[in-house]
Amino acid sequence: MQVTTIRVPHLFAILALSFGPALADRLGIKEITYAEIEEFTHDVITFDDMPRGTFDEILRFPGIGFGEHFSGQLLRLKHDHLLILHEVLADETSDSPLHLVAGPVGHNLAIQVADATGTNGLLPLGPNSDYKNGTGALAIQFDEPVCFFAFRTAIDGLNKFGLSSSSILRDYPEGSMKIRFLDNSGHVLASYMRSIDPEGRIAVGFMQSGSVEPQIAGVFIQNLDLRGIGLDDVRFDTQCPLLLF
């Protein structure tokens, strides 16, 4: 995959002009649709040209690398509702500068058919040796900070057993899937949690707002989903829409 710099479409031109000077220096990360990012990112990591199996090292593609966590972070094990162990953060403090770390041998990453697309996807293995389940943590580092990030996945949701949102938040603050965005110093820019998604495939996208240089240097994803998660069709771009105007 070759990362290509492209021009922002009309949709984002309107978005950029609508912010105005008042938000010029305010950094934020907002969730948008996968389709909006797909519209202007021509390159996508599908993992389809990778052999299926387990990988003990950091997986690198043009512009991006995948591992288990970032240096300085501490992981712990936690059961989901089926009493299957997952990896979640015990300490989210990351070293500065951000540094990607692979997981233990046999418990790092796997390429396997992803529920999200039915084609090859990337699974974080975690404590389970069965690489059909992505119950581990996943850290993603970009060669250059980005403004856009998107991927496809599938989650069952913590409400599969009819749990109320209050019980989920009390007992499972990590949610079915939690996504953290970090800058190069290891500072957490924003966090997003999903718990009450309907069963099935989802596609999510995120955009940095504010007329500053790209700040998203890394993404950390953990999950307590009942069957774990796998990522597919990963997209990212270093071009910030507000910087074009």
| Within a domain: 1 | no
Q: Is the pLDDT of residue 15 over 60?
A: no
* pLDDT over threshold 90, residue 214: yes
Mean pLDDT of 76-97: 90
The answer to whether position 66 is within a domain reads: yes
pLDDT at 224 over 60: yes
| Tens-place pLDDT, residues 99-111 | 999 999 999 999 9
Encoding tokens for residue 199?
Answer: 């069963």
Q: Kindly report, residue by residue over 189-207, the tens digit of the pLDDT.
A: 999 988 766 657 889 999 9
Does any domain span residue 3? no
Q: Is the pLDDT of residue 121 over 50?
A: yes
pLDDT at 132: 66
**Structural domain of 137:** 10-244
**Percentage with pLDDT > 70 across the chain:** 79
In a domain, 215, yes or no: yes
Q: Does residue 5 sit within a domain?
A: no
Q: Is residue 138 part of a domain?
A: yes
93, part of any domain = yes
Spatial distance between the Cα atoms of 102 and 71, rounded to a whole number of angstroms = 10
Q: Look at residue 117 in the predicted model and tell me its pLDDT.
A: 84
**Number of domains the chain contains:** 1
207 lies in some domain: yes
